[in-house]
């Protein structure tokens, strides 16, 4: 990408990024149009190509930007600085909802990217996701060992159940195109409280 993009004000940068997140989250990669992104962000198509060269460059920048901002907000909310698994889930939820309020379509974009049917994009995203999963898995397991779960449950199965619940919930939100962040935060806080009742000793 062209570094001149970073010479824009943060307000203009975010306007372009939010426009791109919106267009890509509402379309599969092949059908997402740079023209639509340009119109949504109120810049010319030629200027958008000047900043990002092509659609794939922009798409992958959006993915990397989302990961970077997620790491930053996780650090700000001290997500990993607890040995309580459910407290970590709560901090992570609040951190992500805070980020989505600034970039409303970021989470929808990431979810869409994970299931993207374009084989070239799919390969690049899945490699990135695999790396993140491997990096986070040991931290999660360590946190889970510091939490007093009931002795009669399978902790690994519990974790998979929670992941599947979260994934299914977010995919349903995507299908109905409803990303009310306050509602999502409220729902997940209720899930966490329910899980605590079920799984803690």
Q: Tell me: the pLDDT tens digits for 116-149?
A: 999 999 888 988 887 777 777 777 777 887 789 9
Do 68 and 62 contact (CB within 8 A), yes or no?
Answer: no
Query: Which residues constitute the domain of residue 99?
Result: 60-199
Residue 7 domain-assigned? no
pLDDT of 24 reads 96
pLDDT of 91 reads 95
Assign residue 178 the CATH number of its domain.
1.10.357
Residue 113 domain-assigned? yes
Residue 121 domain-assigned? yes
- Measured from the Cβ of residue 150, the count of other Cβ atoms closer than 10 Å reads 11
pLDDT of 156 reads 84
Span between the terminal Cα atoms of the chain, in Å: 52
* Residue closest to 99 by CA, chosen among 1, 179, 187: 179
Q: What total number of domains does the chain contain? A: 1
pLDDT of 73 reads 95
What integer best gives the mean pLDDT of the chain? 91
What DSSP character marks residue 1? -
Query: Which residues of the chain carry a pLDDT beneath 70?
Result: none
* Residue closest to 2 by CA, chosen among 46, 52, 54, 60: 52
pLDDT of 68 reads 94
Residue 110 domain-assigned? yes
pLDDT of 94 reads 95
Residue 35 CA to residue 43 CA, distance in Å, equals 9
């Amino acid at each position: 990408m062209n570094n001149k993009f970073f010479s824009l004000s943060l307000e203009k940068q975010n306007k372009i990024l939010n426009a791109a997140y919106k267009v890509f989250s509402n379309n599969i990669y092949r059908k997402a149009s740079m023209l639509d992104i340009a119109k949504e962000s109120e810049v010319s198509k030629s200027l958008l190509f000047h900043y990002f060269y092509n659609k794939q460059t922009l798409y992958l920048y959006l993915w990397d930007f989302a990961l970077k901002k997620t790491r930053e907000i996780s650090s700000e909310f001290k997500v990993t600085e607890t040995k309580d698994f459910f407290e970590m889930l709560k901090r992570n939820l609040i951190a992500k909802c805070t980020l989505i309020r600034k970039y409303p379509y970021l989470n929808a974009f990431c979810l869409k990217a994970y299931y993207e049917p374009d084989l070239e994009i799919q390969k690049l995203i899945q490699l990135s996701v695999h790396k993140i999963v491997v990096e986070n898995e040991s931290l999660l397991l360590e946190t889970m060992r510091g939490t007093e779960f009931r002795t009669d449950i399978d902790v690994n199965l519990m974790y998979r159940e929670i992941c599947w619940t979260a994934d299914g919930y977010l995919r349903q939100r995507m299908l109905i195109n409803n990303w009310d962040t306050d509602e999502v935060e409220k729902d997940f806080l209720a899930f966490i409280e329910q899980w605590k009742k079920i799984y803690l000793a």
